[in-house]
Amino acid sequence: MAALQACQNIGMPECRINLAHIVTYLAEAPKSTRSYEAYNRAEAAAKADLTLPVPLQVRNAPTKLMEDLGYSEGYRYNPNYAHPVHNTYLPPDIEAQVFLRKEGDLSGKTWDEQALKRWEEARNNGMRWEGRDRVV
């Protein structure tokens, strides 16, 4: 956001430095497809059964009738609490499904020893990858 604002306020060519900063930051940031994969799993679960009801707790209650029917009853708005709170966001039939895998979960990932050795040699000055001992 800061890079966008810098470009809007400063303009080119001066903001090219700000653009270089954001490009470097994004290039060096850890990469993950966890969000993408989680979205795909959640979308597939939703499409698998279009009749699954949205839990009443997370339904908006803009009318008295909806309030009387129990819409949004018991909902806890997380930012209002100094501690984690529990809400039911999914229908019971899919509540136990895991959509976002844990950080570091390597299930389904490929281990290619030769590719790693080539990377260590070409990109890591011949030194062993620091994560090798945690994985193997």
Average pLDDT over residues 6-14: 92
Q: What is the DSSP string of 5-47?
A: HHHHHH-TTTTHHHHHHHHHHHHHS----HHHHHHHHHHHHHH
pLDDT digits (tens, 9 = 90+) for 15-30: 999 999 999 999 998 8
Residue type, 68: D
Within 8 A by CB and 6+ apart from 116, the residues are 129, 132
* Total domain count, the chain: 2
For residue 125, what are the domain limits? 106-136
What is the widest separation between alpha-carbon atoms in the chain? 69
Please report whether residue 60 resides in a domain.
Answer: no
The dihedral sign for the CA sequence 49, 103, 85, 59:
negative
CA proximity to 131, closest of 114, 101, 106, 100: 106
pTM recorded for the entire structure: 0.60
Is 83 part of any domain? no
Nearest to 100 by CA among 48, 52, 40, 51: 40
Assigned domain for 119 exists: yes
pLDDT at 136 over 70: no
Domain membership flag for residue 101: no
Local confidence band at 132 (pLDDT 50, 70, 90 cut-offs)? confident
How far apart CA 25 and CA 27 sit, in angstroms, is: 6
Residue 77 lies in a domain: no
Q: For 37-66, give one letter per residue: b (16+ CB within 10 A) or e.
A: eeeeeeeebeeeeeeeeebbbebebeeeee
